[in-house]
């Protein structure tokens, strides 16, 4: 066996000897040939960086020996090639960088050392809202309002792009971050600093995994961790297990990629892949386009894995050409991947690597489906939707229940809209949104929706005018091919006009519903429905008035919009009756796969991608006109309600403070399972009766000027007040949903922020109790920053979603986990006790620590600092404090 530490460097092309690469295939080590392809990317990065800080020869050996080491909690460093950010997470990152420069200067260091080393692209896609729809000028009106609301934020970002090197801003109106990454930013193979090496990326959005579908290893991280990566710090990760997901067979003619990913999401949630890589293989992969693979990889956070990797094959290379990438660079990309053994042939089983575990799916068994009404993993076959929804109506309040009394299941409320009479009932669709990078990046489902719309209009069908319909593509390319193929006008006739290029309804930027609709829903206490082609449908996320939300393919979004209800059996009941009295069924207008493919071949061409992306950074005139300061240190405006210097580094010194035992902490909140980051730090509307609203009102703002929590992430005063402010929060201390808790010293029920403030003023530390999957959902770092500012010192949960645990570590909040087989119930915890968490002097990763209650009870929990590096961050009070001390010294 050869020595893997002899780094074999050679030119890829003798004509260009200055361009070199590390030839891993010449290690002549049988272990390399059996490695999962995703692990090969980690190995290459370790080999390339093994002379740098934290990347050692032993790390290379551990990765190469993956099959033996994967179960041993072995820590390995990973330095990705790129970082991507969106504006909801990008603004707080730039705020942190600006504040870090101030802190480094105060400590006597050079503030300009706080500067991205790793290249970063920030795509502004989270700010635009669906304020206007069903009109030809919706796009322009929504974009104008976006700039009116967010001008200060955008000026700040433009300052950041000038003040920091290696940071590129993709202006608003360009598209959704992950679709822009897929179609334009991703390289697959990097050609930089004289070397070829695999492209890899981490992003401050959990759906960064979408790029795994193209063969670029990527995953979401918290904003705090991304900031450290941008400053040159490797990601410290435990060598992951890799689950091989074998795809067999061919999809049925009526099945879309959305149906496949919803099926996989449910399956992998059952398998259990949190903290693991999933790598797809098998002959079925060759039946999937890159857009199909990207759809499947996009929803990786919904099934809980770290990455959902599709190795590069000839279809990937073809996609690079289809999307207008440079032919010469694509040729070099393929040659490099062939030489290093990273080009996959999914039909060749001899290339199948070793996996930790293998699970299978026959694509032929997948049926059309949706997911909901409250979680992405709760898949429902379309044929069962009517029955399933009606069962949910009466079921106990929970993920699959609304607890509506049986005598009210058929309640209706009449209302008048635009001079016409209508009625709503449980199951009525009030939002139908074709949205999200998950699906709008896929020409087959978008053209399928367009062809269905064409057939529906020609059959005499329409969508009721009160239903809030919208189309928000992930890039301008989508509008281009919908228009060129002749289906855009039919989508518009059904109300699906383009309303903006951004995340919009998928992240809760759905805008207001018509007032008569809201009044009818409220009057009847109706379970109204949103149907969207998004990736998340957690409670309170899509819209406050849609208690049920279903994820569906774009064609199904249109079908349910036409039907006006989810209480329909498409096989037995017509979508509608046209003017001539004819019943029209869904099967009558559903386009065939061959129809869709013919249109896609004709109209999705490289020229479209080149035309759209060659002007992406300059096309937005409003952005170009923004005037931003040029100073290297940011001048904070004390009157700003958007951008504020955060208190995270107040009082920071070069000397470390020894972590102390947390004494007599009160429990701020007690939760059950699946508390999401949307529950912890909502992104949508700011309720008028909330602490954040009271703060903004005190600063002279009107409700119309509140904007959203997501847009206010540059201001800690708003975000602290918005922590645990989700209207659908279920706290065991309170007998109803809502953002409140009990302040135990007084016995009063208060808004969560107000209770935390009282505890803080009295000098009482706080903890949070939770069940399984705590912190599921988005990567938002404010779900850790917010609790930190409220005075939460630790969280005790049954299990954590990966990114959120990392974010807690990054803020110095201790993630504690019950021992296997234990939880609050088995230990008899009510949450009304006071907790002393004993912090030993000597700490080690994943050690058990002692928790003492004021009742006299004592038990143990696992301290989920998983690596030595994470313990270093904890000793520093968080990752950003560590980076400041490092830069200042």
Q: In angstroms, rounded to a whole number, what is the distance separating the alpha carbons of residues 750 and 466?
A: 37
- pLDDT for residue 72: 84
Q: Chain centroid to CA 607: how far?
A: 30
- pLDDT for residue 401: 95
Distances 31 to 34, 40, 310 between C-alpha atoms, Å: 5, 11, 20
What does the CA dihedral 291, 292, 293, 296 come to, rounded to 10 degrees? 120
Distances 699 to 177, 719, 741 between C-alpha atoms, Å: 33, 15, 26
Judged on CB neighbours under 10 Å (0-12, 13-18, 19+), 856 is exposed
Mean pLDDT is lowest, of 37-51, 181-195, 431-445, for 37-51
The pLDDT tens digits of the residues spanning 318-328 come to 999 999 999 99
Q: In angstroms, rounded to a whole number, what is the distance separating the alpha carbons of residues 497 and 682?
A: 28
55 — phi, psi (to 5°)?
Answer: -110, 110
- pLDDT for residue 823: 97
DSSP string for 306-349: SEEE----HHHHHHHHHTT--HHHHHHHHHHHHHTT----TT-G
Residue whose pair of structure tokens reads 């919908």 in the numeric block: 482
- pLDDT for residue 505: 92
Name the pLDDT band for 124 (thresholds 50, 70, 90). very high
Q: In angstroms, rounded to a whole number, what is the distance separating the alpha carbons of residues 487 and 456?
A: 11
Q: Report residue 392 as tokens.
A: 């949910």
Of 474, 468, 445, the residue nearest 128 (C-alpha): 474
CA atoms within 13 A on the CB side of 233: 24
1: pLDDT strictly greater than 50: no
Domains belonging to the chain, first-starting first, are 6-78 (no CATH), 82-365 (3.30.499.10), 372-611 (3.30.499.10), 662-888 (3.20.19.10)
Would strands 766-769 and 662-670 be described as parallel, antiparallel, or unpaired? parallel
Mean pLDDT is lowest, of 10-24, 457-471, 622-636, 708-722, for 10-24
128: pLDDT strictly greater than 80: yes
Residue whose pair of structure tokens reads 């803080």 in the numeric block: 760
- pLDDT for residue 54: 53
Q: In angstroms, rounded to a whole number, what is the distance separating the alpha carbons of residues 862 and 845?
A: 9
Mean pLDDT score, 514-533 = 97
- pLDDT for residue 845: 93
Q: In angstroms, rounded to a whole number, what is the distance separating the alpha carbons of residues 883 and 885?
A: 5
- The DSSP code for 398 is B
- pLDDT for residue 4: 47
The overall average pLDDT reported for the chain is 93
Residue whose pair of structure tokens reads 């009063």 in the numeric block: 748
Would strands 468-471 and 429-434 be described as parallel, antiparallel, or unpaired? parallel
Mean pLDDT score, 774-792 = 91
Name the pLDDT band for 3 (thresholds 50, 70, 90). very low
The pLDDT tens digits of the residues spanning 142-193 come to 999 999 999 999 999 999 999 999 999 999 999 999 999 999 999 999 998 8
The pLDDT tens digits of the residues spanning 576-626 come to 999 899 999 999 999 988 899 999 999 999 999 999 999 898 888 999 999
Q: In angstroms, rounded to a whole number, what is the distance separating the alpha carbons of residues 332 and 329?
A: 5
Name the pLDDT band for 259 (thresholds 50, 70, 90). very high
- The DSSP code for 662 is E
CB 375 within 8 A of CB 304: no
> pTM, whole model, 2 decimals?
0.88
Cβ-count burial 382-397 (b if 16+ within 10 Å, e if not): beebbebbbebbeeee
Q: Report residue 739 as tokens.
A: 């953002």
């Amino acid at each position: 066996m050869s020595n893997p530490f002899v780094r074999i460097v050679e030119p890829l092309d003798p004509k260009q000897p200055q361009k070199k690469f590390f030839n891993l295939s010449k290690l002549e080590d049988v272990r390399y040939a059996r490695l999962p392809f995703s692990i090969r990317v980690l190995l290459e990065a370790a080999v390339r960086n093994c002379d740098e800080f934290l990347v050692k020869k032993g790390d290379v050996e551990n990765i190469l020996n993956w099959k033996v080491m994967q179960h041993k909690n072995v820590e390995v460093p990973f330095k990705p090639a790129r970082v991507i950010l969106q504006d909801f997470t990008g603004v707080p990152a730039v705020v942190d960088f600006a504040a870090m420069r101030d802190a480094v200067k105060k400590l006597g260091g050079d503030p300009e050392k706080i500067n991205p080393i790793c290249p970063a692209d920030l795509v502004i896609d989270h700010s635009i809202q669906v304020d206007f729809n069903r009109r030809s000028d919706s796009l322009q009106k929504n974009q104008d309002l976006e700039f009116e609301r967010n001008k200060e934020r955008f000026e700040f970002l433009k300052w950041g792009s000038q003040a920091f090197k290696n940071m590129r801003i993709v202006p608003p109106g360009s598209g959704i971050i992950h679709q822009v990454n897929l179609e334009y930013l991703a390289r697959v193979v990097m050609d930089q600093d004289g070397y070829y090496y695999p492209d890899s990326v981490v992003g401050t959005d959990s759906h960064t995994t979408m790029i795994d579908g193209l063969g670029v290893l990527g995953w979401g991280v918290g904003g705090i961790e991304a900031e450290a990566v941008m400053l040159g710090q490797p990601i410290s990760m435990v060598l992951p297990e890799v689950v091989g997901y074998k795809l067999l067979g061919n999809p049925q003619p009526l099945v879309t990629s959305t149906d496949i990913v919803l099926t996989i999401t449910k399956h992998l949630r059952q398998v259990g892949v949190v903290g693991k890589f999933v790598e797809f293989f098998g002959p079925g992969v060759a039946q999937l386009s890159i857009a199909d693979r990207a759809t499947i990889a996009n929803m990786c956070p919904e099934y809980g894995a770290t990455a959902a990797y599709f190795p590069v094959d000839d279809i990937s290379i073809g996609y690079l050409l289809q999307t207008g990438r440079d032919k010469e660079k694509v040729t070099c990309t393929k040659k490099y991947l062939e030489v290093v053994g990273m080009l996959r042939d999914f039909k060749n089983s001899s290339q199948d690597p070793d996996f930790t575990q293998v699970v299978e799916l026959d694509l032929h068994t997948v049926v059309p489906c949706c997911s909901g009404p409250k979680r992405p993993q709760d898949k429902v076959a379309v044929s069962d939707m009517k029955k399933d929804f009606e069962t949910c109506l009466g079921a106990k309040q929970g993920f699959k229940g609304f607890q509506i009394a049986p005598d009210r299941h058929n309640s209706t409320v009449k209302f008048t809209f635009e001079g016409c009479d209508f009625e709503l009932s449980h199951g009525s669709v009030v939002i139908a949104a074709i949205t999200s990078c998950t699906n709008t990046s896929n020409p087959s489902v978008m053209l399928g929706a367009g062809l269905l719309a064409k057939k529906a209009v020609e059959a005499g069908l329409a969508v009721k005018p009160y239903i809030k319909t919208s189309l928000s593509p992930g890039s301008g390319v989508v509008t281009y091919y919908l228009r060129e193929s002749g289906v855009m006008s039919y989508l518009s006739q059904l109300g699906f006009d383009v309303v903006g290029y951004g995340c919009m309804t998928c992240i809760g930027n759905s805008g207001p519903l018509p007032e008569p609709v809201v009044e009818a829903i409220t009057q009847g206490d109706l379970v109204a429905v949103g149907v969207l082609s998004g990736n998340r449908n957690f409670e309170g996320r899509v819209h406050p008035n849609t208690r049920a939300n279903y994820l569906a393919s774009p064609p199904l979004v249109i079908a349910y919009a036409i039907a006006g209800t989810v209480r329909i059996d498409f096989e037995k009941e017509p979508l509608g009756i046209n003017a001539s009295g004819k019943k029209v069924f869904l099967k009558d207008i559903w386009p065939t796969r061959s129809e869709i493919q013919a249109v896609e071949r004709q109209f999705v061409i490289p020229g479209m991608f080149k035309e759209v992306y060659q002007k992406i950074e300059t096309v937005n005139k409003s952005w170009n006109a923004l005037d931003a300061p040029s100073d290297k240190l940011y001048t904070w405006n004390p009157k700003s309600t958007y951008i504020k210097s955060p208190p995270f580094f107040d009082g920071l010194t070069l000397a470390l403070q020894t972590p102390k035992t947390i004494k007599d902490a009160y429990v701020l909140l007690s939760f059950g399972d699946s508390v999401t980051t949307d529950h912890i730090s909502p992104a949508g509307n700011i309720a008028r009766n909330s602490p954040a609203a009271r703060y903004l009102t005190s600063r002279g703002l009107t409700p119309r000027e509140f904007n959203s929590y997501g847009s206010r992430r540059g201001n800690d005063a708003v975000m602290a007040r918005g922590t645990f402010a989700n209207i659908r929060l279920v706290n065991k201390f309170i007998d109803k949903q809502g953002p409140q808790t009990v302040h135990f010293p007084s016995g009063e029920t208060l808004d969560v922020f107000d209770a935390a403030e009282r505890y803080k003023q009295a000098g009482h530390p706080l903890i949070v109790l939770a069940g399984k999957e705590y912190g599921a959902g988005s990567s938002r770092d404010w779900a850790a920053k917010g609790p930190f500012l409220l005075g939460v010192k630790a969280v005790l949960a049954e299990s954590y979603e990966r990114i959120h645990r990392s974010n807690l570590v990054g803020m110095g909040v201790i993630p504690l986990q019950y021992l296997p087989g234990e939880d609050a119930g088995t230990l008899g915890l009510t949450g009304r006790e006071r907790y002393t968490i004993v912090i030993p002097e000597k700490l080690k990763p994943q050690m058990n620590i002692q928790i003492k209650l004021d009742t006299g009870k004592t038990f143990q929990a696992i301290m989920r600092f998983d690596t030595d590096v994470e313990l270093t961050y904890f000793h520093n009070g968080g990752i950003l404090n560590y980076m400041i001390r490092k830069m200042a010294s």
